[in-house]
Structure 1
Amino acid sequence: MDNLWILIPLAPFLLGGFFIWTRHQTHLAELHIQSAADLAADKAARHATTVAELEERMRVLERIITDGSYDTALQIEALRDRREVEAERIPGPPPMPAPEETRQ
């Protein structure tokens, strides 16, 4: 305990180091909070864009469903008919001849 008087002149240096360390830790915490906020804002912007695209698709689907005109059904049937005509136009492979049985 006789050597405790040596710590008295070192106290300002120890307190100064402690204050610098706490200020640095506070700065690191602020940087962490800022980067988390930036990440959350970026993620929110991406979600908002996705939601806007989905809402636009939903509006198109609602307009198709609630159209009430017979034109949509006719257009769908016309597309089906066109596919059937194209399928008939494209020739398939020639049929395979039936194997002949040989009796011995």
Structure 2
Amino acid sequence: MDFPFGAFAPVAAIVGLAAIVGWVFTTWMRVKNGYPLDGAWGQAVYPKKDEETAERVKLITQENAQLRAELGSIKDRLANVERIVTDGSHRLDQEIEMLRGRAN
């Protein structure tokens, strides 16, 4: 009984396509993150870095630090709001004010 190569062709095409897509994706990620690429003879080839890229990285780093500081401030404020809302005396004050509103 002969092996049907026609049934194997779509599987081989899918595996080959997946390998190519994976290689392109990993190469893109390496370039994006500044890792060296492999040259034709196995030597490391570093992506081109220019002054504009270095300046963009510097600005993004500064913006990241500012956003982290702002996030810390917001977390502190949220903790204070949670403390006030869950405070028992605050609830008691709300209930008293609600009862005063009904009495009038």
Band the TM-score falls in, shorter-chain normalisation: 0.3 to 0.5
- Taking structure 1 as the reference length, what is the TM-score of the superposition? 0.42
- Taking structure 2 as the reference length, what is the TM-score of the superposition? 0.42
Q: Which has the higher contact order (CA 8 A, sep 6+)?
A: 2
Greater Rg by CA = 1
